[in-house]
Amino acid sequence: MTLIDTAASGGATGGGTAYLDADSGQVRVRPGSVTAADVGTLAGAAVGALGLVWLVYERIMPWSGALGFWLCWYVAFLFFYWGIARTQWEVRHVREKIAAALFTGAGIFVLAVLVDLVGYVWWRGEKAVSHGNFLTTDMQKTGPLDGLNSGGVLHAMIGSLEQLGLATLFAVPLGIAAAVFMSEIGGRLARPVRTVITAMTALPSIVAGLFVLGSVILALGYDRSGFAASLALTVMMMPIVTRASEVVIRIVPNTLREASYALGGSQWRTVWNVVLPTARSGLTTAILLGMARAVGETSPVLLTAGFTSGKNANPFSGQQVSLPLYVWNYVRYPQADMKVRAFGGALTLMAIVMILFVAARIAGGRRPGELSRRRRRQMTRERIRGAGPSAAAPRPPAVRPAPTAAAVIHPEPEPAS
């Protein structure tokens, strides 16, 4: 293909990139694609605004600071972009371009904040994580003046994972059961339940900690422990799982429920075999939202888990530290190395969240009807053998054509879901 034209065709409405099609001799245009004029306008506005703002900001006005600089640049850029675009295109088209620039800018801003956040934690904590002992030892034998080659977050990692695991174990069945109740059974009681759950999503996390402190630790005389902390996290996690699950269960089409009832299914079997499997991908998201909330909580854990610098793998007895608590505790030390450890702990926390999310997505994030990789391979094998799993069943020979060579070499393309 020969590129014959890029900018010239970019008339009032953008035009497109054009190629000469070798086979037919026709000019192929991809309408709406980015043209050189688009890129030039954008780059011109960006560079022009940068020059002007630099002049004003650094040479004329007595201002300083990166944030203000880039804010001024963005505003100037929008004006420049408008001006340059207006010389080529009509108003409505320019307005569209400006709107696109605004939304893109907002997106980039959010991304920049996130990158800044993660980058800052990385920058501060990287020195701790680069020591091999950080992930494999606890703080039992490490004092405030010891260097980074001593001590680590192992005990806090164990605590975080155990507390999160227990909280998930409690909150997910409770939350999904409540969601099923509200959306499938309903009735008069559903509304107050929904109101309470909604109120609980806005519950200040310190209140959850106080609740468990009052009811489990002070009233029942149970010691501060990982288990008590996981109960507090359950209080935080359950309403989020419930609300999100209810939404995804509601969007399961009613026709599927009807189909199930029409086959003689009871309500319970319909929920178990049809509604929940269909909503599986959304339920995974609901559980992830809850876990994300729980794993980073500090205040409920602060009141209920206690603190220890040593390893305690038993969540049911003895105090147990978790990563947010570890960060909160050590970042208050005056020693620089302790602060680095705290940021290392935060980095570890982010890494754990990331790993959990990826794992959960792989395990449960498929849409209904989409096949896992293992199933796809299995299907391909079955197809190559030329028969489905019922090959053993008796079958009239007339309807069993032998698998053709073509079918073996070119199995049908995988149907997209």
* Least CB distance to other proteins at residue 194 (A): 19
CB atoms within 10 A of CB 183: 21
Which helix (H) or strand (E) segment holds residue 328: the answer is helix 323-330
Distance CA 144, CA 125 (A): 17
Q: Does 262 bind other proteins (CB under 8 A)?
A: yes
Q: Does 7 bind other proteins (CB under 8 A)?
A: no
Please identify, among the stretches 12-20, 96-104, 201-209, 249-257, the one whose residues bind other proteins according to the rule CB under 8 A.
Answer: 249-257
Pick 146 or 370: Cβ nearer other proteins: 370
Pick 92 or 374: Cβ nearer other proteins: 374
Pick 202 or 399: Cβ nearer other proteins: 399
**Distance between first and last Cα of the chain:** 34
Which one of residues 264, 373, 374, 402 is an interface residue with other proteins (CB under 8 A)? 264
Please identify, among the stretches 108-116, 166-174, 215-223, 394-402, the one whose residues bind other proteins according to the rule CB under 8 A.
Answer: 394-402
In whole angstroms, how far apart are CA 6 and each of 15, 30, 307, 336?
9, 11, 66, 57
Pick 62 or 415: Cβ nearer other proteins: 415
Q: Does 258 bind other proteins (CB under 8 A)?
A: yes
Q: Does 205 bind other proteins (CB under 8 A)?
A: no
Distance CA 275, CA 292 (A): 25
Q: Does 310 bind other proteins (CB under 8 A)?
A: no
Subset of residues 334 to 393 that bind other proteins, contact rule: CB under 8 A: 368-371, 375, 378-379, 382-383, 386-390, 392-393
Q: Does 417 bind other proteins (CB under 8 A)?
A: yes
Please identify, among the stretches 24-32, 94-102, 268-276, 354-362, the one whose residues bind other proteins according to the rule CB under 8 A.
Answer: 268-276
Q: Does 266 bind other proteins (CB under 8 A)?
A: yes
Distance CA 255, CA 268 (A): 16
On whether the CB atoms of residues 286 and 133 are closer than 8 A, the answer is no
CB burial class (10 A; 0-12, 13-18, 19+) of residue 298? Answer: middle
Q: Does 274 bind other proteins (CB under 8 A)?
A: yes
Q: Buried (b) or exposed (e) across 163-178, using 16+ Cβ within 10 A?
A: bbebbbebbbebbbeb
Relative to beta strand 16-20, strand 27-31 is antiparallel
Residue 69, token pair as written in the block:
């600089």
Pick 97 or 257: Cβ nearer other proteins: 257
On whether the CB atoms of residues 43 and 22 are closer than 8 A, the answer is no
Which one of residues 259, 336, 358, 359 is an interface residue with other proteins (CB under 8 A)? 259
For the chain, what is the largest distance between any 2 Cα atoms, rounded to a whole number of angstroms? 92
Q: Buried (b) or exposed (e) across 338-348, using 16+ Cβ within 10 A?
A: bbbbbbbbbbb
Pick 42 or 276: Cβ nearer other proteins: 276
Give the interface with other proteins as residue ranges (CB under 8 A).
253, 255-256, 258-266, 269-270, 273-274, 277-278, 280, 368-371, 375, 378-379, 382-383, 386-390, 392-395, 399, 403, 407, 412, 415-417
